[in-house]
Structure 1
Amino acid sequence: MTRRNPYLSGALALGLLAAAPALLPAALLAASSGQPSALDRNRELQACAAKAEANPDGALADARRWQQQGGGDSAKLCEALALFHAGDFKAAGAQMEALVPTLGKDDPRAAASLLGRAGWAWLRAGDQGRAERLYSAALDKTPGDVDLLIDRAFARAEGERFWDAVADLDAALTRDPKRADAYLYRASAQKALSNYRQALADIDSALELKPGDPEAILLRGNVKALGGNLGAARDDWSLARRVAPDSDWGRAAADNLARTAEVAGDAGKDKAKEKKVQ
């Protein structure tokens, strides 16, 4: 799934984008069956979905050609995936929604998959309210789905409803306490709520499951800085930079170190001026 991490926004953090998986779950592929050539259609859909990520324009042309040749809903789904990877999130989300009554008609898992993908498209389009409604509809189809709970938490956090995001992440972790990402996202939500002690506890849990994760180390430094412990924050940023210097997290840590050093330098100059005046 593609996520803009809304929890890591702010002066001392980095918002990130990740690409949604192109390949489709078996439930959704099975939902496009029902024709004598269903196996061929599934193979073509998988191939088109893979191409959509690497070459969205090419996949879009293939999908529209396929529709003209009678590809039906499978071809429309391929077009939606290509639109998503081409950055036309509104069109992709609308098309995925429109396919739910047919491709998801007889399979709740297929319907939930489409609704979830449509939700992420609308979230990328900046409509967190519509995204949340789609995630909720998906959860109605497959209650307790951990990935969907995490996705809805993102949508809720986008609307600055951090307590609701925490509730979803609580539910996700109750079902799967080994999800390091959910601990990290909940820590970020707690950070936004200024619950720094809870945030640090969740980061510790995330690092126990995924030692050395530069994203978690960066976030720990950010939380410590907001809590007033700049020295410890700089230690974490230095560690994140050493662990993954060429990653987005390593670069954000380096930027935090540079900016705080600059602030400290300016403060030192001001003190020197004050002494001269006295």
Structure 2
Amino acid sequence: MTRRNPYLIGALSLGLFAALPTVHAAAAATGSSSTLDRNRELQACAAKAEANPDGAKADAKRWQEQGGGDYAKLCQALALFHAGDFKAAGAQMEALVPTLGKDDPRAAASLLGRAGWAWLRAGDQGRAERLYSAALDKTPGDVDLLIDRAFARAEGERFWDAIADLDAALSRDPRRADAYLYRATAHKALSNYRQALADIDHALELKPGDPEAILLRGNVKAMGGNLPAARDDWALARRVAPDSEWGRAAADNLARTAELAGAAGKDAAKEPPKKAQ
């Protein structure tokens, strides 16, 4: 299952501080600019972390030496994530929840969700799921968190639990094409091909021409034994987005099935003709 995570770490500061309106209000009421300065500093760090994680780490260290405190630590966590040190990034974000998320459940959920994504990238599905569950305790029914937890559960091959989360997400927002697509992937893993195809159809109604959905539809059809229809979908995915990862995967599928068909034809040609009865 491919996850296009909505909690892009580069946008963390925007999400976190959007969940802290009382901090902004207090700064405006007192005329203090320190909180707003920290906000701007963190947003700049978030942008830099994605493009230049080493530079962002240096900035975070300098900021911490100047008294940046937990905001500087969060800057460092962003840089660690983009540098590929997912365990350290996840642990640091977790550690910041009691302080940066103390006064607002949405801020705590934001940090917990991003920590979960970091641990999932680190390969610790169980820890990621626990963090997503903790985030959902703070903001019950959050659609993005339900989808994220479903992804973590699917990574642990708990497909029915993943489907339950996706059912809940779609009951709250039935226009989430990604949720239909992830549920289709879970059904595919369970060999529920009819349900998988129905979910892919829903996803394509909401997002026509999506190459990932078309590729997945071809894969499901192939697993269900309809290789000609699968090849039609793979050819379509390749036409729609030839340079995307899904277009390339479709091209690989077409090439492999062509090779297999050619090998099967050669083997059949080598067999001696059967004697007439």
Q: Is the 8 A contact 1:27 1:107 kept in 2?
A: no
Question: Residue 144 of structure 1: SS of its match in structure 2?
Answer: coil
Residue number in structure 2 paired with 1:20: 8
Residue number in structure 2 paired with 1:123: 120
Bigger relative CO (Cα 8 Å, ≥ 6 apart): 1
**What is the CA–CA distance in structure 1 between the aligned matches of 2:170 and 2:41, rounded to whole Å?**
36
Question: Residue 10 of structure 2: SS of its match in structure 1?
Answer: coil
**What is the CA–CA distance in structure 2 between the aligned matches of 1:75 and 1:159, rounded to whole Å?**
33
Quickly say closer, same or farther: Cα 1:26–1:57, change in 2 above 3 A: closer
5 Å-filtered alignment, 1:15-54, equals: 20-24=8-12, 26=14, 28-29=16-17, 31=20, 33=23, 36=32, 37-54=34-51
Question: Residue 108 of structure 2: SS of its match in structure 1?
Answer: helix
Residue number in structure 1 paired with 2:196: 199
Query: What do residues 167-199 of structure 1 show as CA deviations (whole Å, max 9, x unaligned)?
Result: 000000000000000000000000000000000
Residue number in structure 1 paired with 2:69: 72
Deviation at 1:64, TM superposition (A): 0.9
Question: 5+ residue gaps in structure 1?
Answer: 7-15
State the number of aligned residues: 266
Q: Report whether the alignment pairs 1:138 with 2:135.
A: yes
Deviation at 1:27, TM superposition (A): 5.8
Q: Report whether the alignment pairs 1:159 with 2:159.
A: no
Question: Residue 190 of structure 1: SS of its match in structure 2?
Answer: helix
Residue number in structure 1 paired with 2:175: 178
**What is the CA–CA distance in structure 1 between the aligned matches of 2:251 and 2:11, rounded to whole Å?**
35
Which structure would you say has the larger Rg? 2
Amino acid across the alignment from 1:79? Q
Q: Is the 8 A contact 1:5 1:17 kept in 2?
A: no
Residue number in structure 2 paired with 1:55: 52
Out of 171-180 and 268-277, give the one that drifted further: 268-277
**What is the CA–CA distance in structure 1 between the aligned matches of 2:7 and 2:108, rounded to whole Å?**
21
Give the share of equivalent positions with the same residue, in percent: 83
Question: Residue 24 of structure 1: SS of its match in structure 2?
Answer: helix
Q: Is the 8 A contact 2:177 2:206 kept in 1?
A: yes
RMSD over aligned CA atoms reads 2.0
Which of structure 1's runs of 4+ aligned residues deviate more than 6 A?
16-19
Quickly say closer, same or farther: Cα 1:74–1:88, change in 2 above 3 A: same
Quickly say closer, same or farther: Cα 1:211–1:236, change in 2 above 3 A: same
Deviation at 1:275, TM superposition (A): 3.1
Deviation at 1:122, TM superposition (A): 0.3
